[in-house]
């Protein structure tokens, strides 16, 4: 008997493994993607593996699946995976294979957007900065050095996927791959070299023989057999359609919110608006909709692009921490259910469009056997209307679409939200208000003698730092020959922030913003008679992520002058300057919080008068499974680390138009933490008070004060 039980168990195990490893054929026609001969309407959600942690992935993917999502869509992040030429990293949050296997374990598909240019509000658009130093390189055009490295990395990723059997053609979950990214936005800048590059990229990708279709987003001339797709908030209205009658209408980025920059406020896109435009796209023969983002996550470390905050798409259906954002998540789940209930007729029926009024219209899909689906659309934003359809009256809410899976009964209206809204609850767990719990380390203001690199013209910042740090010191020693006792220092910069020190004394700073690329620092200074030392710390808050000729961008100081009057000034721009890359604390790895040679942690000093200070304290992990955050609302600008892992940049002093910081809560994944003795280190550029920091947990509750709990594994 036991023998037969063992055999039966082995057979069941084999059958289960067989079902997960069965090879699938993925093709397409003018209506949809076709998987194993079956047309599909697919809902996808963007979740980027490095913007969360491996411990969070199962929870995020499970919630996406529960929300009616079929496909997880992700970019591939070249600068993470190949930080130096030929040296690869696929560990930890960079474990692309592990992420895709997790998606497969949940029985879902993957759309792999290799790029390898991705933009994505990711520093340098995902390019590793070493590309900048390749002789003769011009990014994203018909340039041989660039094409060599692009093909090399793309081939590396494809071969990895093949080796792990992750393409659907091998029994894996990947049903689509993307090459390039919104290239048509900049193609004109490259003149006649643009089109050959598009042709080359498509041919190169298709030649890798993945066995699944390739796509190009926002590329109306995507060469056959590559599918051109739509990105935006209203692709049901704006998409000009596939460039061939044999290609389906795919929407690769439906923006659930928008990225947020320092000084900006979050973009709040309603569940009703999202549902309206998804439904309209489906009614107009769309068959694939991806939510960008379904979960945005966190720009850990220095990964965000210029001026972009550390939290990413926090207003997505799953918020930064992976908690449900209601009613968005629930409303979209109901929409997915409604559309899937009639997907066979939508994919096989004949579509017909007709008017129901001045601002009203309808779409009907009918099969020969009589099955019928209708979409009744009211484009009037102000008024609800009653329309007649097949001898029945239907009331349509303002700016809404009703779905009738049988052309009679309404099962869903995009403006009728039945999901209860929820809100965040922030629960303080520990404060750090005691001076005794803190230690500090004062970073060094370098002088001209401390520099080994010197130039009589300003060096470009990104090329000098190689994106190893946000910081570059510009240092000059000069004789004071001015007649006035208190001249004005004028600094023009194409970086993001500048802090000025005269003779080791901090005199002030200034910054730009996301929309104005250059800024001016202008401050009165007190000079010594004779020799003076001017040290200017130039700061980048992420590298640019988009636009043509990215390799030519200039950042750093443009000019430095001292003015007594219009008639009397001292131009220091073309003088001899010394340079120092990074802060001393970075070189000594102060962010690890350990005692080492060169670092002497001391008691907290006078907080108000200090700049470039490293702070250190310790804390225990809060009990439970709720996400953990640090409230840094009392700080100024800098970066924070927990147990040596960066949780991202902070910039509290950059307020929005309402006088509030763009972000004050910073996610600390539980996988970063130990049970006790966690080390928190911050580098503060100036203006922050660590005594106001608190350690909190985050939960959500609906507006009736009932906690919303789902039976998902806890995130960490």
- Element at 614 (helix H, strand E): strand 613-619
Rounded Cα gap, residues 255 and 689, in angstroms: 36
Rounded Cα gap, residues 144 and 141, in angstroms: 9
Burial class (CB in 10 A: 0-12, 13-18, 19+), 609: exposed
Biggest CA-to-CA distance, the chain: 105
The radius of gyration computed from the CA coordinates of the chain, to the nearest angstrom, equals 28
| Overall residue count recorded for the chain in this entry | 716
155-186 burial code (b ≥16 CB/10 A, e <16): ebbbebbbebebbbbbbbbbbbbbbbbbbbeb
Rounded Cα gap, residues 520 and 466, in angstroms: 24
Rounded Cα gap, residues 681 and 597, in angstroms: 17
Query: Regarding beta strands 497-502 and 530-539, do their DSSP bridges make them parallel or antiparallel, or are they unpaired?
Result: antiparallel
Rounded Cα gap, residues 496 and 599, in angstroms: 28
Residues recognised as catalytic? 182, 253
Rounded Cα gap, residues 551 and 132, in angstroms: 6
**End-to-end Cα distance, the chain:** 44
Rounded Cα gap, residues 537 and 620, in angstroms: 35
3-class secondary structure, 503: coil
């Amino acid at each position: 008997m036991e023998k037969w039980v063992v055999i039966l168990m082995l057979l069941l195990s084999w059958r289960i493994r067989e079902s997960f490893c069965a090879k699938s054929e993925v093709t397409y026609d003018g209506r949809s993607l076709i998987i194993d001969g079956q047309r599909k309407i697919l809902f996808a959600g963007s979740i980027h593996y490095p913007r969360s942690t491996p411990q969070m992935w199962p929870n995020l993917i499970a919630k996406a699946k529960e929300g009616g999502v079929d496909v997880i869509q992700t970019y591939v992040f070249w600068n993470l995976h190949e930080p130096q030429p030929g040296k690869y990293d696929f560990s930890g949050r960079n474990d692309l294979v592990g992420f895709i296997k997790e998606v497969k374990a949940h029985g879902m598909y993957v759309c792999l957007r290799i790029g390898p240019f991705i933009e994505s509000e990711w520093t340098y658009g995902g390019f590793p900065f070493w590309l900048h130093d390749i002789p003769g390189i011009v990014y994203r055009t018909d340039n041989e050095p660039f094409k060599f490295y692009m093909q090399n990395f793309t081939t590396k990723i494809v071969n990895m996927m093949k080796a792990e059997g992750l393409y659907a053609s091998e029994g894996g979950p990947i049903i689509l791959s993307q090459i390039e990214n919104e290239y048509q936005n900049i193609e004109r800048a490259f003149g006649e070299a643009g089109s050959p590059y598009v042709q080359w990229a498509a041919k190169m990708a298709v030649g890798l023989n993945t066995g699944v279709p390739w796509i190009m987003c926002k590329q109306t001339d995507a060469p056959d057999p590559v599918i051109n797709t739509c990105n935006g908030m209203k692709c049901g209205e704006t998409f000009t359609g596939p460039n061939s009658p044999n290609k389906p209408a795919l929407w690769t980025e439906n923006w659930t919110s928008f990225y947020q920059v320092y000084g900006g406020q979050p973009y709040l896109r309603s569940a009703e608006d999202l549902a309206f435009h998804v439904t309209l796209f489906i009614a107009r023969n769309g068959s694939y909709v991806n939510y960008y983002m379904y979960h945005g996550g966190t720009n850990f470390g220095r990964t965000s692009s210029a001026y972009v905050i550390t939290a990413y798409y926090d207003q997505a259906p799953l918020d930064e921490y992976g908690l449900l954002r209601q009613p968005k998540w629930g409303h979209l789940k109901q929409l997915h259910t409604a559309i899937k209930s009639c997907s066979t007729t939508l994919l096989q029926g004949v579509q017909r469009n007709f008017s129901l009024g001045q601002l009203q219209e309808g779409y009907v899909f009918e099969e020969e056997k009589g099955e019928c689906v209708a979409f009744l659309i009211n484009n009037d934003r102000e008024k609800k209307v009653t329309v007649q359809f097949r001898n029945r009256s239907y009331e349509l809410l303002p700016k809404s679409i009703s779905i009738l899976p049988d052309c009679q009964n309404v099962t869903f209206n995009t403006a009728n939200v039945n999901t209860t809204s929820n809100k965040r609850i922030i629960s303080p767990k520990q404060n750090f208000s005691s001076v005794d719990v803190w230690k500090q380390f004062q970073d060094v203001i370098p002088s001209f003698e401390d520099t080994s690199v010197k130039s009589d013209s300003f060096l470009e910042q990104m090329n000098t730092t190689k994106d190893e740090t946000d910081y570059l010191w510009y240092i000059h020693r000069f004789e004071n020959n001015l007649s006035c006792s208190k001249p004005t220092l004028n600094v023009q910069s194409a970086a993001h922030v500048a802090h000025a020190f005269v003779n080791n004394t901090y005199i002030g700073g200034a910054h730009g913003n996301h929309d104005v690329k250059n800024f001016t620092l202008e401050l009165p200074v007190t000079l010594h008679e004779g020799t003076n030392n001017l040290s200017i710390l130039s700061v980048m808050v992420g590298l640019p992520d988009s636009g043509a000729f990215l390799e030519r961008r200039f950042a750093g100081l443009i000019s430095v002058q001292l003015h007594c009057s219009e008639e009397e000034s001292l131009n220091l721009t073309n003088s001899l300057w010394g340079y120092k890359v990074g802060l001393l604390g970075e070189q000594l790895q102060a962010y690890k919080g350990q005692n080492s040679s060169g670092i002497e942690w001391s008691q907290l000093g006078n907080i108000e008068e200090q700049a470039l200070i490293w702070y250190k304290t310790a804390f225990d992990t809060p009990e439970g499974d709720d996400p953990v955050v640090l409230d840094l609302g009392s700080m100024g600008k800098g970066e924070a680390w927990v147990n040596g892992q960066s949780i991202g940049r902070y910039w509290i002093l950059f307020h929005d138009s309402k006088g509030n910081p763009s972000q004050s809560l910073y996610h600390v994944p539980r996988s970063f933490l130990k049970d006790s003795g966690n080390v928190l280190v911050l580098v503060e550029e100036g203006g922050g008070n660590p005594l106001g920091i608190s350690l909190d947990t985050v939960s959500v509750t609906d507006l009736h004060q009932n906690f919303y709990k789902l039976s998902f594994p806890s995130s960490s």
